[in-house]
Amino acid sequence: MERASKRVFITGIEGFTGRALESYLLQNAYSVCGSSLDGKNTTYQMDITNIDSVRDVLNDYKPDYIIHLAAISFVAHSDNEAFYRVNTIGSENILKVAKEISVKKLILASSAAVYGRREEAVLNESLCPTPSNHYGNSKYAMERVASNYFDESNIIITRPFNYTGIGQSDNFLIPKIVKHYAEGKRVIELGNIDVIREFNDIDFVCSVYEKLINCNCNSVTVNICSGRGVALIEIIKIMNNIAGYEIEVKTNPKFVRKDEIKKVVGSAEKLKSLIGNFKLKALEDMLKEMYEYYRKYQ
């Protein structure tokens, strides 16, 4: 049997992004497989902190492309050492084995958290990272380790900004808000609602990863962002209109970050130079889709 020409392996395929990306790539005629730590619903169980586990799995599947999403991403995770063991050392194991098996391209998911708390309102890739927590530091350490492989492997490092969509845990801000409306709740506790952030759609993120697979570029670091900043208060106003009632917003001091930056959005210029222009889903459409999903299935 002839081997499929575009075989993609996704680490962390059981996560929010992994599941959405798998579906997106399958719809676009890729052969897709992936791994998770427990392997319950995936083809492979793989511990990225164990290089033998990584080697066994990747040698078995023989991917053309790897999209490395597996990580500890909960900023308040209690085991600080685990951030580096998984996000940094685990990623180097992926880098080592990807080099051994000569994958065509390895895409590593870093994070916009590497920028830290900045005064600049628009963050571009030329800024020197100043991460402010262990999560951001572990991701930046991963980036520095990966740069040592630039001359030997085809690598793209991505820095995703905020994104959301159907399937994301309601521990995250936008699903939390939308679910409150879907359940008809009249009060919600939030932090500072005047801050401006990107709230991109998961479909946009998946389309970017697919285009990066095919773009003629390597040894680059690029934001996955739209440059579209939205004040949280605008999200509330849109949801008031979608749900047909006004929710009462109460400020909970524990959700207010000290010295929080008013506006944080990414520069999408470098991304556009790599993949071309892109069209964004209207914010109202994304929120309505999530609202209707919660109303129907939750």
Is 135 considered catalytic here? yes
| Distance, CA of 5 to CA of 175 (rounded, Å) | 37
Question: Out of 135, 140, 181, 294, which one is annotated catalytic?
Answer: 135
- Which helix (H) or strand (E) segment holds residue 109: the answer is strand 105-109
- What's the one-letter identity of residue 265? V
End-to-end Cα spacing for the chain: 43
Residue 238 has which token pair?
């849109």
Three-class secondary structure of residue 290 per DSSP: helix
**CA torsion through residues 28, 20, 202, 131, sign:** negative
Distance CA 148, CA 92 (A): 10
CA distance 147 to 142: 9
8 A C-beta contact, residue 219 and residue 153: no
Whole-angstrom distance, CA of residue 71 vs CA of residue 109: 9
Catalytically active residues are 135
